Structure 1
Amino acid sequence: MGVAASTLWASLFGSRQLKLCILGLDNAGKTTLCYQMSMGQAVATAPTVGSNTELFTYRNLQLLLYDVGGQAALRAGWAAYLQGADGIIFVLDSTDRERLGTAREELWRVVGEQAQRAVPLLLFANKQDVRACMGAAEISAAMRLTELRHADWHIQACSALTGDGVTQGLDWLAARLGAKA
């Protein structure tokens, strides 16, 4: 009886926990963005070694965020975190022109895995508050996002420090995840 009641409750009120992986190169702002999404504010952070997790509710969706370190040595382990993921958030440093090619290679490796093709992909073009940053359109072209024909993706300009653009990106993702929940 208890299992039936909890299943009914989950189906009516959307309390199923959805797993999201936040990926990107080191220093892209993944952890700051993670705290901005879960707590509504920027928090002083240190480079992530391994992963951080945050659980929060957004638009009646219970989201479990896996913020995974982006150093070169840690990227090979991303595949383990992606197993069973309901969505992917890929964070790009809009000021890091030198490593945009590396970010593109890592993104394409992630979405190229067959298991990840069916999950929504939100790309946050972070650090839009920094002078001379690349805009979302420039990043989209450099990342060759229009070639991701098999993926449901969206790029959103944002600032993890100020929170600008974060809600818009989460709204897009919540619409996709809400249809799956």
Structure 2
Amino acid sequence: MGLLSILRKLKSHATKELRLLLLGLDNAGKTTILKSLASEDITQITPTQGFNIKSVQNENFNLNVWDIGGARKIRPYWRNYFENTDLLIYVVDSADIQRLEETAQELSELLIEEKLRGIPLLVYANKQDLSQSVMAADIADRLRLHNIKDRDWQIQSCVATQGKGVKEGLEWACKSIERSYRKHQ
């Protein structure tokens, strides 16, 4: 049973539309996570050249998830999608050890963007099923997540191709956003 099926079984009268921005380097698994969230087939995924959008409902929110391509030539355009973002989801390929510093640099640049200031951050440490993958705690260290003081953040181990950890990350995200809204009401 996919996440969308589980969420539909919940009392689903979305009270608020949320915009979730799904970013990360190319081949990190962003589109696989997006399709997993939408309970779609993940066997035919091609690199994202622009963006994909899916709407997913949960108990309190209608989630509009924007998956933006992560190729180096596309990254300068990420900032065109920052407006009105409620949650930043950043996906890391845990098995791509050579690019961990590059992904850390990209994330640090995102975190200083004015339009993303203070919004919760969910990091998916994807591809945890591969033998050479780095544990989520080590990725948190390499991304310097423990230095983040201006927002809620969470790192979630996952295997997007199997849907493992994806739902748990989204549950944290929704709770974090809900807490944030309660504080500001």
- TM-score with structure 2 setting the length: 0.87
1:177 matched residue in structure 2: 177
**Mapped partners of 1:88, 1:40: distance in 2:** 22
Hey, what does 1:134 align to over in structure 2? 134
Of all paired residues, the percent bearing the same amino acid is 36
The Cα shift of 1:41 comes to 5.4
Aligned residue identity for 1:97? I
State the Cα deviation string for residues 126-156 of structure 1 (Å, max 9, x = none). 0011112101011011111111121211000
TM-score (norm 1): 0.89
| Residue 164 of structure 1: aligned partner | 164
Deviations 1:97-131 (A, max 9, x none): 10111101110111111221221100000001111
Match of 2:89 in 1: 89
Counterpart amino acid of residue 150 in structure 2: H
Aligned AA for 2:74? L
Question: Superposition pairs for residues 9-158 of structure 1, below 5 Å?
Answer: 13-39=13-39, 42-158=42-158
| Letter of the 1:121 counterpart | L
Write out per-residue CA displacement over residues 68-101 of structure 1, whole angstroms, 9 at most, x where no aligned residue.
0000011111111111101110000000110111
- What amino acid is the match of 1:30? K
Residue identity in the other structure for 1:99: R
Deviations along 1:18-75, one digit per CA (max 9) or x if unpaired, are 0001000000000000000111653421000110000110233100010000000111
The equivalent of 1:7 in structure 2 is none
Aligned length: 170
The answer to whether the 8 A contact 2:14-2:57 is kept is no
What amino acid is the match of 2:55?
A: L
Structure 1, unaligned runs of 5 or more? 1-12
Q: What amino acid is the match of 1:115?
A: K
Measure, in 2, the Cα distance between the counterparts of 1:16 and 1:89: 19
Distance change >3 Å, CA 45–CA 98, structure 1 → 2: same
Of 141-150 and 102-111, the range deviating more from structure 2:
141-150
Work out the CA distance in 2 between the residues paired with 1:111 and 1:43. Answer: 32
- Provide structure 2 residue ranges, at least 5 long, that are not aligned to the other structure: 1-12
SS in structure 2 of the partner of residue 73 of structure 1 = coil
CA contact (8 A) 2:157 2:165 kept: yes
Task: Give the conservation status (yes or no) of the 8 Å contact 1:123–1:154.
Answer: yes
SS in 2 for 1:176: helix
Native 8 Å contact 2:156 2:165 kept in 1: yes
